[in-house]
Amino acid sequence: MKTKINVEDLNLWYGSKHALQNINIDLHKNKITALIGPSGCGKSTFLRCINRMNDLIGTANVEGKIIIDGKNIYDKDVDEVSVRKKIGMVFQQPNPFPKSIYENVAYAPLKHGLVKKGRECDELVEKSLISAGLWEEVKDSLTHPGTSLSGGQQQRLCIARTIAVEPDVILMDEPTSALDPISTEKIEALMLELKKKYTIVIVTHNMQQAARVADYTAFFHLGDLIEYDETETIFVNPKKKKTEDYITGRFG
């Protein structure tokens, strides 16, 4: 199994609060890893470490290594903006730009010089919307605002926007928690398709979702990584009592 992200002795503090404690985990290439655990346990904090979004929080202090394709993204010579280009993020609430559907997808590739305006950009927009399972629904309304779409469509637009810059890794922070069951089902089917090309890490509070889509599951509690294994093992035969208690609903 090829490792895509190798996390070594990762610690994070928000001021004096020790939010992540000595996290060691290998995340596998072209697999979906679900991060589960009660609210405030460090899941989203850990997710944001993978693309250095915690750098934007003044009180956050990170120690340890996150090695992606052999390079520690916390090395001094690494530009955090370039990290975020290679590691896309999809948030809990869909957040399309206040622009047209077309511009939502085209904005970053044009800004980074990945494509030129015109046919090259048109093809990238179409390809990204197809990959996000949205093209057939929006191909005749590309000039309409992204915000005019339904919640589920907006989330798929955000996924199209993320993959338009050709990242290596896609992070998803509770991407379906604000969506209805049908939209959730579409996003989950999309994740299973996208993992053929990308490594995906998802934070979810939905145990059934983790069981449905994740190849691997990591259980966090109070800033500690309690257990990490293949999803079936975590749900059917966890090694730690704390994992079993959480999964069976005894706490959390």
**Residue 252 maps to a domain:** no
CB 160 within 8 A of CB 134: yes
pTM of the model as a whole: 0.94
Number of domains comprising the chain = 1
**Residue 154 maps to a domain:** yes
The domain that holds 197 is classified in CATH as 3.40.50.300
CA atoms within 13 A on the CB side of 85: 14
Read off the pLDDT of residues 180-227 as tens digits, 9 standing for 90 and up: 999 999 999 999 999 999 999 999 999 999 999 999 999 999 999 999
**Residue 19 maps to a domain:** yes
241: CB partners within 8 A, 6+ apart: none
The yes-or-no verdict on residue 247 having pLDDT over 90 is yes
Read off the pLDDT of residues 160-186 as tens digits, 9 standing for 90 and up: 999 999 999 999 999 999 899 999 999
Mean pLDDT to the nearest integer, 41-49: 96
Report the distance separating Cα 119 and Cα 136, nearest Å.
19
**Residue 26 maps to a domain:** yes
DSSP-derived letter for residue 183 is H
**Residue 138 maps to a domain:** yes
Instruction: Look at residues 231, 243, 235 and name the one whose alpha carbon lies nearest to residue 28.
Output: 231
pLDDT of residue 243: 96
pLDDT of residue 252: 61
**Residue 36 maps to a domain:** yes
Radius of gyration for the alpha carbons in the chain, expressed in angstroms and rounded: 18
| Full domain range(s) for residue 233 | 3-247
Q: pLDDT band at 81, cuts 50/70/90?
A: confident
The yes-or-no verdict on residue 82 having pLDDT over 90 is no
Instruction: Look at residues 29, 33, 23 and name the one whose alpha carbon lies nearest to residue 214.
Output: 33
**Residue 222 maps to a domain:** yes
